[in-house]
A and B are shown apart, each in its own frame.
Chain A
C-alpha cells in the first residue's frame, strides 16, 4: 500500500486506475446503458425502419414500401395543415412565454425585505402541474356554462368566444393553457440567470449614473442572453411536442384546428387502427423539424449570444 502511494505520479496513477477500475466501471454503467440502448438508441433505428413499411394493424405483417409513407405525406394537404398548426402554436407560445417569464423574473429579483417567498410560491406553482391537470383546469375556466373566463370578460364588457368549440379560438385557448403551465419553469430559469449576473456590473453602472431601465437594457439583458437562448431552444422543443393539453382541451378539434404533428402521430398510431408506418414517418419528420429549427436557432441566435 505504502509503496503504491509513493510511486503515484500523475501518469502511473491514471494507468493503474485504468486497470483497476475498468471492469468495475462497466458494472456500474450497465443498468443505465441497458435501458438507454434498448429504449432510446435501438428505437431510433427501428423507428426509421418502421417508417419505410406499411404495418398491418396490431403489429402483424409488415410490407416494405420504401419512402412511400414519406412521399404520400408530403403530397397530402392534411399533413401540411398539421405542420401549420405546430408552427403557429410555436409562434404563439414561445415569444410570449419567454417575454412574460423575463418580466416576472426581473420583478422577483427586486430585493424585497419581506414576502419574497410568498410571491415566488404563487408564481412558481405551475412548475409542478402536469399537462393533463393543466388541461382539466383550463377546461373548467373555458366552460361556457360554469366557466370563469367569459364571466370575467363579461364584467369588463367583452362577450367572450366559445373558446374550445370555435375554430379560430381553440388554438388560442390551448396556447394560453400551455403558456401558463410552462411559466413556472421559465421564470425559475430566468431568475437563476439574473441572479448569476456579476453584481459588480451593476455597481459600475450605478457609478456611471445608469437608471433602472438603462441597467436592464445594457446589463441584465445582454448578460442574460445565454439563458434566453437556452429558454428559446427548450420552449421551441416543448411547444412542438405539446400533447396533453390538446388531448384534454380539444381532442385536436374542432375539425382539425388544433391537430398538431404530435397529435396526428397519436391519432394515426394509437386511436382505432394502428397505422404505425405512417405514424413513424410523421414522427420522423417531426423530429427533423425539431432538429432543423434548433439548428437555425443556433446559427441565427447563437451568434448574438453574449458569453462572459
Chain B
C-alpha cells in the first residue's frame, strides 16, 4: 500500500485536530481550509492512473480508444473543481462572519466572545 493515501489522511487529521483545539476564529478558518485541501487531494488521487496523461485531447493522441486507455479519470477532477470554488466562497463567508464578530466584540477569541455575549445577556 502506498504511503500517499496515509499522508493525505494525516493532513486531514491535522485539520481536524486544529478544529477541535483552537479557539481563535482565524485558526478555525485555516483548519477548515486544510481539511478541504486534504479531501480534494484524496479525490483526485483516487482518479490517478500510473503514467497517465491529462484528460485533454491533443494531436499527440488522436485515437479516442488509445486516449481513453491512457488518460486519468476526468470525473473526480471535474467534481473537485466545483469543490475548490465552493471552498473559496465558504471561506469568504467565514471571513465575513469573523470580521463582523471582531467589529462587535473586538477579538477573534471564541472564549472571550462567549464571555462577552453572556455578560451582555444578563
The judgment on whether A and B are partners is no
